[in-house]
Amino acid sequence: MHGPDGQHFKEHIMSNVTVIGAQWGDEGKGKIVDWLASRADIVVRFQGGHNAGHTLVVGDQTYKLSLLPSGLVRGKMGVIGNGVVVDPEALLAEIDRVTAQGLEVTPRTLRIAENVPLILPVHGAIDRAREAARGDRKIGTTGRGIGPAYEDKVARRAIRLCDLAEPETLDWKLDELLLHHNTLLAGLGSETFTKDALLAHLNALAPRVLPFMDTVWELLDDSSRAGRKILFEGAQAVMLDVDHGTYPFVTSSNTIAANAATGSGVGPGTVGFVLGIAKAYSTRVGEGPFPSELHDEMGRTLGERGHEFGTVTGRPRRCGWFDAMLVRRAVRVGGVNGLALTKLDVLDGIPELRICTGYELDGEEIRHFPSAPAAQARVKPVYETLEGWSGTTYGARSWADLPAQAIKYVRRIEELVEAPVTLLSTSPERDDTILMRDPFEN
């Protein structure tokens, strides 16, 4: 765009922020998004489903969100973009739960893209049956139907939110969907579904979910032109990206910042400043390779101190040292402009720390983590050892409050991942944050 108006529009676009995970998820994005939401006008979810979760601690309330954008906790408008797959039953249950905690979730505060694909009970059944059939080769899905729903989207047989307003469309689309899924379920020895049952299920939910439906791409475009700040909230993380993660042990969507545009219906320049979230160590839930994983007492110590359990699954997280190689890759493919480093306080008092700075494969040094699963399983980490600190970083709100060795640890991470740490989180509390650069001030 040219002229004064175009320049004004461009400046406001550049003040947007996109938050993505830079490891395997569970990096503490909820707190960071909640903290940033106070500076935003709109918070947008652009991918994933209710297989991801954010935990927000606000005063004496703890909110566990899976589908709802975190900004709702701060009274900001929440938007669920077209890149999300929505289980309407799970969504309504989550709305009821947070409403009981005092949040206002109405069509005034929450808008859902009319073209979001829906997760149906048949998707969860397929997900669980296939995972059981894999036996020892299971992927570690949550069994909530996210993957099968994305498959239906790509195969052009998805039921979308807008279909709930058209009973005649819904009728024949369910015929096509069940022709596929019932064949699979029967082959896996599982119970099949009837169209009448699914139709009744969706018709019962429609009056409650349709009021939230909106043309989200237009809403966001109008908001950008009006100078409103948008925060795009990613789920999962780069190393779970279906293209760039540790395939096949990944999620079923693209988690990188580029998908914030596709998954919400805006232009690529709208994503603004990309903030990657990473823990000061590494964790992973479920199956898949994890080069720096610790199977010893130190791994258990990190898990206990960090209260490492999946927000959605409740499964204990696998823990290990910070992997600078994988985070550097996430920085590059994710387009990360700055890092938010969380849970530094978990490392307090550990006399000796390690950072994975490289890999070996069959005795040879390699530059990148391989894509082939068999090679991934044989990778050995190369570590650099750093001195720990005896003081505490817990609750620190300025660099002056940090022990010298903690500062050295953070600076070394910056050098290795080739990105600045722009935000440092030192406890679950929202205000225990050290800000080097406000991502909204580009």
pLDDT, tens digit, 9 for 90 and up, residues 144-161: 889 999 999 999 999 999
When pLDDT is averaged across residues 394-405 and rounded to a whole number, the result is: 93
How is residue 233 annotated by DSSP? E
When pLDDT is averaged across residues 106-122 and rounded to a whole number, the result is: 96
User: What tokens does 24 get?
Assistant: 């395997």
How is residue 118 annotated by DSSP? B
Query: Residue 302's closest CA among 293, 313, 311, 291?
Result: 293
Residue 279 and residue 311: Cα distance in Å, rounded? Answer: 15
3 state SS of 131 = helix
* pLDDT for position 416: 98
When pLDDT is averaged across residues 352-376 and rounded to a whole number, the result is: 93
* pLDDT for position 442: 63
User: What tokens does 282 get?
Assistant: 């590494």
Distances (CA, A) of 219 to 106, 117, 213: 16, 19, 11
Q: What is the pLDDT of residues 332-350, one digit of tens each?
A: 999 999 999 999 999 999 9
Whether 314 shows a pLDDT value over 80: the answer reads: no
Q: Higher-confidence residue: 432 or 384? A: 384
User: What tokens does 242 get?
Assistant: 């279906």
* pLDDT for position 313: 64
Is 295 among the residues known to form the active site? no
Q: What structural domains does the chain harbor?
A: 3-114+213-273 (3.40.440.10), 121-209 (1.10.300.10), 279-435 (3.90.170.10)
Whether 3 shows a pLDDT value over 50: the answer reads: no
Residue % of the chain over a pLDDT of 70: 95
* pLDDT for position 4: 45
User: What tokens does 14 get?
Assistant: 């550049």
Confidence of residue 179 (pLDDT cuts 50, 70, 90): very high
Which residue type sits at 418? E
Catalytic hit among 12, 34, 50, 54: 54
In sequence order, what DSSP letters do the residues of 9-43 get, joined into one string? HHHHHHT-EEEEESSSS-SSHHHHHHHHHTT-SEE
Q: What is the pLDDT of residues 233-274, one digit of tens each?
A: 998 899 999 999 999 899 999 999 999 999 999 999 999 999
Q: What is the pLDDT of residues 296-311, one digit of tens each?
A: 999 999 999 998 986 6
- Sequence-distant (≥ 6) Cβ neighbours of residue 410 within 8 angstroms: 341, 344, 402, 421, 424
In sequence order, what DSSP letters do the residues of 309-350 get, joined into one string? B-TTT-PBPEEE-EEHHHHHHHHHHHT-SEEEEE-GGGGTT-
Whether 275 and 339 have beta carbons less than 8 Å apart is answered as yes
Count Cβ atoms below 10 Å from residue 239 Cβ, excluding itself.
Answer: 29
- Sequence-distant (≥ 6) Cβ neighbours of residue 87 within 8 angstroms: 49, 50, 67, 118, 119, 144, 145
Tell me whether the omega of the peptide bond preceding residue 351 falls within 30 degrees of 0, making it cis: no
Is 26 among the residues known to form the active site? yes
Mean pLDDT for the chain? 90
Length of the chain: 442
* pLDDT for position 261: 96
User: What tokens does 152 get?
Assistant: 């239906």
How is residue 271 annotated by DSSP? G
Residue % of the chain over a pLDDT of 90: 70
Confidence of residue 60 (pLDDT cuts 50, 70, 90): confident
Whether 318 shows a pLDDT value over 70: the answer reads: yes
Catalytic hit among 12, 26, 87, 163: 26
User: What tokens does 305 get?
Assistant: 């101190």
When pLDDT is averaged across residues 414-432 and rounded to a whole number, the result is: 91
pTM: 0.91
**Cα-only R_g, the chain:** 22
Q: Higher-confidence residue: 159 or 286? A: 159
